[in-house]
Amino acid sequence: MNIKDLLDKYINDNLTHEKFLKQKISFRECACSSYINSDSEYQEELNVEDYITKNKVDNKFQKLLFKYIDERELKDSEVYNKVNIDRRLFSKIRSDENYHPSKETVILLGFALKLNEDELLSLLESASYSLPKNNIFDLIIRFCFINEIYNINDVNELLFEHKCKILNQ
């Protein structure tokens, strides 16, 4: 079975349909019912600033990215040149701990570092992204990492064949 047939099978086996994602109670109804209760624990959460301060997690993307680069003993230039990421963008990622990259940039960095699926998912999560199984683009990206397809031209060919947006080069 060739890689394209494997990809088609993977998509058919893993594509999640929206009917499984719908809830009986909407998020709004659920969230509002929590705040209607007059108990002090709920009243305390009504202050948005306090809630954010208590629950905000530090930006782990930058730390995790450079941990992966160091583990692979790569130079920054090897990483950003491999997937044609602009040197200035990479410099911003390195120097600004509050910089939030696009999902595509995180995926490209994953390809440059030849991450495995779990490492990619961790890197995406650290930047507040995911690869849900409810769209073809994300399934193809996941498939490529599972099958160690790291060549961007090969990845883009698979994306193009399934009428998905290709990754920048």
- Which is higher by pLDDT, 26 or 161? 161
Same domain? For 134 and 160 the reply is yes
What pTM was computed for the model? Answer: 0.75
Q: Are 106 and 123 in contact (CB under 8 A)?
A: yes
Give me the number of domains the chain comprises. Answer: 2
CB 117 within 8 A of CB 138: no
Tell me, yes or no, whether 36 and 74 share the same domain: no
Q: What is the mean pLDDT of residues 137-164?
A: 97
pLDDT digits (tens, 9 = 90+) for 34-87: 444 445 555 554 688 777 777 666 668 999 999 999 999 999 999 999 999 999
User: Are 140 and 84 in a shared domain?
Assistant: yes
Query: What pLDDT digit, counting tens, does each position of 84-138 carry?
Result: 999 999 999 999 988 999 999 999 999 999 999 999 999 999 999 999 999 999 9
152 lies in which domain range? 58-169
The answer to whether position 140 is within a domain reads: yes
pLDDT at residue 108, rounded to an integer? 97
* Conformation bin of residue 94: beta by default, left when phi > 0, alpha when psi is -120 to 50: alpha
Model pLDDT, residue 82: 93
